[in-house]
């Protein structure tokens, strides 16, 4: 019986290849593993709601053992990597600055935590002609959005916005930008968009 089934499978495969039909191979679904994130990352990102994600501070790398040390709050995680691991925003693992924020998409391989992608937080560079001073913002706020022709957007998490924000500012958390842009961004291109957060904006 087994030989008959095997012969049938081999025959069907050979016919499919000869006829030029695409072979459909069902992939094994990626295992959903828990996400773990440093509290400092969760102030602006919802990493805890996803899966297969580790986010924290880069501590060190061992090229000999092919491991990365990642600090997540008080815990130290050791993650393995190899030539298939995708590194973003850094030329090499050795050149990732210590204590830099890093986000790792991981899976389990041979019982070990294995990094599929390591993404280093990229610094934000804004052209000088697109920056606005606190004094200029204060002048606009005194005029109000209509007279000042501006919209002021607070890109911090909503709980921080609720604790206190600049007058006339609208809540637009960074991670909800795509969802809120249609609702909050002005259609009139002459209206200035001003963003701020708890750090550099």
Q: Are 32 and 52 in contact (CB under 8 A)?
A: yes
At 75-114, the pLDDT tens digits run: 999 999 999 999 998 999 999 989 898 999 999 988 899 9
Instruction: Return the domain boundaries, the chain.
Output: 36-120, 128-196
pLDDT interval class at 144 (50, 70, 90) = very high
| Nearest in space to 53 (alpha carbons), one of 29, 73, 65, 36 | 36
pTM over 0.85: no
Q: What is the pLDDT of residue 1?
A: 45
State the average pLDDT for the chain: 81
Q: What is the mean pLDDT of residues 22-46?
A: 66
CATH code that applies to domain 36-120 = 2.40.50.320
Give yes or no for residue 6 having a pLDDT over 80. no
Q: Which of 10-24, 138-152, 180-194 has the highest mean pLDDT?
A: 138-152
What pLDDT band is residue 123 in, cutting at 50, 70 and 90? low
Average pLDDT of the segment spanning 174-192: 85
| Residue 123 CB burial class (10 angstroms; 0-12, 13-18, ≥19) | exposed
């Amino acid at each position: 019986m087994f030989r008959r089934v095997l012969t049938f499978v081999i025959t069907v495969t050979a016919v499919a290849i000869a006829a030029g039909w695409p072979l459909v191979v069902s992939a094994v679904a990626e295992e959903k593993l828990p996400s773990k994130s440093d509290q400092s990352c969760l102030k602006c990102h919802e990493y805890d709601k996803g899966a297969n994600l580790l986010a924290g501070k880069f501590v060190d790398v061992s090229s000999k053992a092919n491991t990365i040390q990642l600090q997540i709050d008080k815990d130290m995680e050791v993650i393995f990597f190899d030539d298939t691991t995708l590194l973003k925003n850094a030329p090499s693992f050795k050149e990732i600055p210590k204590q830099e924020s890093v986000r790792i998409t991981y899976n389990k391989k041979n019982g070990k935590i294995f990094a599929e992608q390591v993404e280093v937080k990229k610094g934000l560079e804004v052209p000088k002609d697109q920056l606005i001073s606190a004094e200029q913002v204060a002048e606009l706020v005194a005029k109000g959005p209509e007279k000042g022709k501006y919209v002021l957007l607070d890109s911090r998490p909503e709980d921080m916005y609720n604790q206190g924000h600049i007058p006339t500012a609208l809540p637009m958390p960074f991670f909800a930008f795509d969802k809120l842009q249609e609702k909050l961004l002005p259609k009139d291109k002459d209206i200035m968009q001003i963003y701020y957060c708890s750090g550099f904006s």
